[in-house]
Amino acid sequence: MNLLEMNHVSKTFDGLEVLKDISIQVKEGEVVSIIGPSGSGKSTILRCATMLETIDSGELTYLGRKAAWNEGGKAVYAAHNELKEIHRYYGLVFQNFNLFPHFNVLKNIIDAPVSVLKVPKEQAITEARELLKKLGLGDKEDYYPHQLSGGQQQRVSIARALALKPKILFFDEPTSALDPELTTEVLKVIKELAKEHMTMIIVTHEMQFAKEVSERIIFMENGYIQEEGTPEDIFNSENTRVKEFIGKLESR
């Protein structure tokens, strides 16, 4: 069974069709990258998959549980409680981290497990410390976000998402807000997760990284999936748009 299925999803913003008949299937343990020019709808895919935006039509399913499906040509969503449970399957890492500035690192990580999932506080702390250590932030638990570098903040936000033990993690350009030298440390963490077979969908402009880490790459343009395949397929694609796009980014 697929962990995530988006079938024939479309989404319109103020009359502009931003996603057109998008279908993506992701199996457990897979790493999929989404690339494509700015404005092509990559973020919108993640925002629809994580229900930050509602889809206009199509289907959204996690592990066979339907979050949204078509009824009379329009998408309808499952009941609140069902959505809440489905929600626990996934997490999202934002481009600009969105850490809670008034919580220190530890509290940023443990607060949701404790107050949402009712994990005992002691246990949440133990697990958070393990995560921090793993992500190279073992000595930072008392820091506040503004005292950390962008790369450290992004790693904290990854830890925050992981603390809820999602089955699939979405990343929306996790390194776009970072200087090149900080980018490396974040990509390293994501590669580490890939090695542990964490299921991930990653929107990125880091071509080398996408090639290394993904089983599959999806190339988006103008709200369409233009091409989809193994990194090899994509990097050797005959499609001129794909070639042009990859060429531009690799020569940076």
Partner 1 sequence: MDILSIIQQLGSGMITSIEIFFLTLVFALPLGLLIAFGRMSKIKIVQWIFKAYISIMRGTPLMLQLLVVYFGPYYLFEIKIAKWYRMVAVIIGFVLNYAAYFAEIYRAGIEAIPKGQYEAAKMLGYTKTQTFFKIIFPQVVKRILPPVTNETITLVKDTSLAFVIAVTEMFTLAKQIAANEASMVPFVAAGIFYYVFNLLVALVMEKFEKKLDYYR
Ligand X SMILES: Nc1ncnc2c1ncn2[C@@H]1O[C@H](COP(=O)(O)OP(=O)(O)O)[C@@H](O)[C@H]1O
Residues that bind ligand X in the complex, under the rule CB under 6 A: 13-14, 18, 36, 38-44
In the complex with ligand X, which residue's Cβ is closer, 99 or 220? 220
Residue 140 CB, nearest approach to ligand X (Å): 30
Residue 93 CB, nearest approach to partner 1 (Å): 9
Choose one: 109-117, 128-136, 198-206, 244-252; the region binding partner 1 (CB under 8 A): 109-117
Partner that binds at residue 164, options ligand X, partner 1, Mg ion, none, CB closer than 5 to 8 Å by kind: partner 1
In the complex with partner 1, which residue's Cβ is closer, 169 or 246? 169
In the complex with partner 1, which residue's Cβ is closer, 99 or 207? 99
**Rounded distance between C-alpha atoms, residue 5 and residue 165, angstroms:** 20
Q: Which residues between 120 and 159 bind partner 1 (CB under 8 A)?
A: 144-146, 157
Binding status of residue 203 toward partner 1 by CB under 8 A: no
**Rounded distance between C-alpha atoms, residue 106 and residue 103, angstroms:** 8
Q: Which residues between 34 and 93 bind Mg ion (CB under 5 A)?
A: 43
Contact 232, 216 (CB under 8 A): no
Partner that binds at residue 54, options Mg ion, partner 1, ligand X, none, CB closer than 5 to 8 Å by kind: none
Residue 167 CB, nearest approach to partner 1 (Å): 14
Q: Which residues between 53 and 92 bind partner 1 (CB under 8 A)?
A: 84, 87-88, 91-92
Q: Which residues bind partner 1 (CB under 8 A)?
A: 50, 52, 84, 87-88, 91-92, 94, 96, 98-102, 111-112, 115-117, 144-146, 157, 160-161, 164
Q: Which residues bind Mg ion (CB under 5 A)?
A: 43
